[in-house]
Each structure stands twice: as C-alpha cells, then as structure tokens.
Amino acid sequence: MTITVVGSVAFDAVKTPFGERARMLGGAATYFALAASFFDRVQVVGRVGADFGEEELQVLAMRGTDVDDVERVADGKSFFWAGEYGWDLNSRETLDTQLGVFADFQPHLSPASRACDVLFLANIQPELQLGVLEQCGETKFVAMDSMNFWIDSARDALVEVIRRVDGVILNDAELRQLTARPSLIAAAREVLAMGPSVVVAKQGEYGAALLTEDQFFALPAYPLETVVDPTGAGDTFAGAFAGCIARHIDRPVTEPVLRQAMAYGTAMASFCVEEFGTERVERLGAGEVDARVEELQRITQFEHVPVPLEAS
C-alpha cells in the first residue's frame, strides 16, 4: 500500500522556552512523511527552492520515501516560517512568513503519486486540495487538514473538500470555528454530516478525540515531563494515523483500526515534541514507538467493579 501527502516542505525558525533553531527542516508534508514512512511507502508532493539541499532531501527520503514529486525551483526560495512559543507552549506567535516558491504551488501528481491507497491533503489552499482530489480517482482513504485562515477566507471551497474526504483532522478550535458550535461533540457531528466518516479533533497537550457516526473515542497525550518544541506535532500525528490505516487498507477501516491509528498517532507525536523539529523522529526506532503505544494503553485502562450506590 502507498501513501501520498501533498503539502508544504519548508524551513522553520523556532524559539521556545527551551531553546531555538534559526533554520530547521519543517513543513507539514515533511513531518507527515517522516511519521508515515514507518508504516508504508510514502510519496511527497511539494515545491521547494534552490536553498533546499541534498541534506534536507535525504531526511525527507528516509525509509524509502519517494521525493520525485518534490519540485525544485532553481531561482526560488523555500517556504519559510518563523515563530515563538509562549511559556507553557500552548500559544505561539508567528514572527515571519515567506511563502517563496510555495506561493505558486500547483500540485501535479505523477502516476505513482496518483495511484496511492491513502492520500493526505495537508494544510494548503482548499482549491489546491480540490485539484489534488481531481487527480486521484481511486484512493481508498483520503484525510485532510486545514487552518483558521482558510475557514475564514475560503470557506466554500473548504467545505467542498470536506464533503469529498473520508477523514477530517482538525484541532478543536478549528472545528468550533468551522461550525460555529461551541460544543466540540456537536461541531464534530456537524462535520460528519457533511460527508466524512471520521473526524479527529486534535487537542494539543490533552490528546485527541475520534468521532465516527456511532462511536466516540478519546486518548490523552503521552505524558512528558518536558515538551521542547510542539512544531509539527499535528502533522506527525496525522502521518502515523494515516500510516496505520494504510497498513490495514485491505480491509474496511474499522473502529478498532481507527483507535489503533489514534494510538500510533499519539505515540509518534510525543516523540516529535521532545526535541526541535524533526530531530527526534529522524533517529526514532520502531520499538520505541510500540513501547509508547503499550504505555498509552496502560495509562488509560481502569477496572469497573460497580460500587453499590445509594438511591435518593
């Protein structure tokens, strides 16, 4: 099975209370691909500038990821984002955004990328996401991300994308903004009613929730003493989530598979935030991931021996 991701491949400058990096490999498609590549063969569709060197390309191509659809523009610069996180890492301020060659990104998928089993539309302009959907006819599971900017500025196109995908992966503020519903459950149900069979509500340090037509599942974040840099956590989650689904795509995507995908997404994201950018995931071992999935199971289980309660 193969997974295609369409999205940004970029450089980031990040400052957190634990340090900073003036220039590190980033971008949604990068984080997604690194995580998904643990599970299956990944193809990245993106656009970078001449500043994107062999070293970065090698990281992107780890574990056999196909980078043939990463277009390199000789006279341009890669997407660059600079941001600073607050004291408890729950807020961040964008200091600089330079779209560079990403401003004219028009995803063009090779036959190999089109023939994927699982497709992830990372956070890009909804019109471009629609264009990608037109190119991929036979995909078995399509998931997507977006952001507040597109909910505000390109709502109709975004809703059209949502109608046509299987899974929506947004954070809870985005789900609330999209539906104008204060209740996360009600917001997710409204998104499900648009067409998707799966909604994942990312909740940052609190974990994530999964909603399908008749089920609800929630998983806390893996408990860490120190989070160094939250950048890329959501896309890393999505990469492992989609990767786990790809590995089971020969069967219908059942609730147990979705829940396991949530656990792998959560475990993988917990490694991402332990160090800056892709540093930790680049040298992550498969056994480490499984150990955290097991630990997630331990920290969420409880016995229920009913306590006889008093009637009123």
The reply to whether 176 sits near its own copies by the rule CB under 8 A is yes
Phi, psi of 136 (to 5 degrees): -105, 100
The yes or no reply on residue 138 touching its own copies (CB under 8 A) is no
Tokens in use for 7?
């999205």
Going along 17-124, which residue ranges are E strands? 19-26, 41-49, 66-73, 79-85, 92-98, 118-121
Residue 255 CB neighbours (<10 A): 13
Taking the least distance from each CB to its own copies, the nearer of 92 and 189 is 189
Closer to its own copies by Cβ: residue 49 or 232: 232
| Least distance from its own copies to the Cβ atom of residue 219, Å | 7
Task: Show contacts with its own copies in window 202-221 (CB under 8 A).
Answer: 203, 205-207, 209, 215-220
Nearer to its own copies, 106 or 301 (CB): 301
For its own copies, the closer CB: 37 or 123: 37
> 3-state secondary structure string, 168-184?
EEEEHHHHHHHHCCCCH
Whole-Å CA distances, 64 to 33, 61, 97, 104:
10, 6, 30, 27
Residues 6+ apart with CB under 8 A from 102: 8, 10, 47, 78, 79
Piece of 33-41, 106-114, 122-130, 138-146 that binds its own copies (CB under 8 A): 33-41
Tell me how many residues contact its own copies (CB under 8 A): 65
Answer whether 124's CB lies under 8 Å from 7's CB: yes
Contact 42/66 with Cβ under 8 angstroms? Answer: yes
Chosen residue from 116, 238, 244, 273 binding its own copies by CB under 8 A: 244
Closest to its own copies by CB, 104 vs 288, is 288
Q: Does 259 bind its own copies (CB under 8 A)?
A: yes
Q: Using the rule CB under 8 A, is 289 a contact of its own copies?
A: yes
**Residue ranges in contact with its own copies by CB under 8 A:** 17, 37-39, 62-64, 87-89, 176, 182-186, 189, 203, 205-207, 209, 215-220, 223-227, 244, 247, 256, 259-260, 262-264, 282-286, 289-290, 293-294, 297, 299-312
